[in-house]
């Protein structure tokens, strides 16, 4: 089935550094990717929606200069947390939607990555 | 703006019990509703997806129902097992196109005690 790979699964960094998280669709072309943030014991909050080849659309209250999203190809989107601070520590999850190219060619899928745990010291 | 509410927030039951998790949404104009499972520190696993034209979906010991007009869905888990312990999230999708995004409830944290 459709698989989304997210990397790294966890990362610890010092305050002030930048961290990049990758989200890859492995067997389908992801026309749209979504980035969510989840704080402990809370639900997923959508941060931004990115369509391949165009600028991401950010949700209200999400700083686009702090959370840089790039969706340069149909299989890869990246989220870069710039100048990270301890309050940015969270679980970041991506999801991707598109049409499969494998056995179930043409099926519309929406799949989630396994998430990336960011801890900023 | 769509809002999704899940009740209860947490549930602890002994092994073998049948249980029901509830999800309600404020805007009934949805394309589909999906139930997910999330284990601690992990991503989401899709359990069941119900299209707006459907009333229920079943997979093994899980049964999800949808009453779109009243804005409600339930997830029924039969003969619960300790391995069912996880957070269960419901999410609604407003329309079909790929740009459509999900609105999540806050989840029900389930603990099944052996």
CA distance B33 to chain A (A): 13
Residue B56 tokens, joined = 């229920």
For position B70, what pLDDT does the model report? 95
For position A103, what pLDDT does the model report? 56
For position A34, what pLDDT does the model report? 93
Q: Residues A95, A114: contact at Cβ < 8 Å?
A: no
CA distance B32 to chain A (A): 12
- B42: confidence class by pLDDT, cuts 50, 70, 90: confident
Say if the Cβ atoms of A112 and B44 lie within 8 Å.
yes
For position A53, what pLDDT does the model report? 80
Beta-ladder partners of B85:
none
Does the pLDDT of residue B98 top 60, yes or no?
Answer: no
Chain A environment of B25 (Cβ under 8 Å)? none
Does the pLDDT of residue B92 top 60, yes or no?
Answer: yes
> For the segment A58-116, what is each residue's pLDDT rounded down to a tens digit?
999 999 999 999 988 889 999 999 999 999 999 999 998 877 665 555 556 778 999 99
> For the segment A44-63, what is each residue's pLDDT rounded down to a tens digit?
999 999 988 888 999 999 99
Name the least confident of A24-28, A57-61, B32-36, B100-104: B100-104
Helix, strand, coil proportions of chain B in percent (round to 5)? 5, 55, 40
Name the least confident of A80-89, B68-77, B93-102: B93-102
For position A49, what pLDDT does the model report? 92
Check CB contact of B54 with chain A, cutoff 8 Å: no
Say if the Cβ atoms of A115 and B43 lie within 8 Å.
yes
Helix, strand, coil proportions of chain A in percent (round to 5)? 0, 55, 40
């Amino acid at each position: 089935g459709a698989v989304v790979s997210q990397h790294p699964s966890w990362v610890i960094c010092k305050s002030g550094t930048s961290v990049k998280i990758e989200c890859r669709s492995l067997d389908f072309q992801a026309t749209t990717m979504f980035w969510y943030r989840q704080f402990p014991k809370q639900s997923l909050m959508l941060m931004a929606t990115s369509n391949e080849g165009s600028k991401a659309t950010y949700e209200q209250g999400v700083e686009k200069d702090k959370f840089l999203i790039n969706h340069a190809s149909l299989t890869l989107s990246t989220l870069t947390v710039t100048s990270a601070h301890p309050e940015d520590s969270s679980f970041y999850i991506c999801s991707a939607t598109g049409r499969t190219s494998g056995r179930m060619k043409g099926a519309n899928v929406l799949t989630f990555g396994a998430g990336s745990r960011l801890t900023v010291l | 703006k769509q809002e999704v509410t899940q009740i209860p927030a947490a549930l602890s039951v002994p092994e073998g019990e049948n249980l029901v998790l509830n999800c309600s949404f404020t805007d009934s104009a949805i394309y589909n509703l999906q139930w997910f499972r999330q284990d601690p520190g992990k991503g989401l696993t899709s359990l069941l997806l119900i299209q707006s034209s459907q009333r229920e979906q079943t997979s093994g010991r899980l049964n999800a129902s949808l009453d779109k007009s009243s804005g409600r869905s339930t997830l029924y888990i039969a003969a619960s097992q300790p391995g069912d312990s996880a957070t269960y999230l419901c999410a609604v999708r407003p329309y079909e196109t790929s740009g459509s995004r999900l609105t999540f409830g806050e989840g029900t944290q389930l603990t099944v005690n052996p």
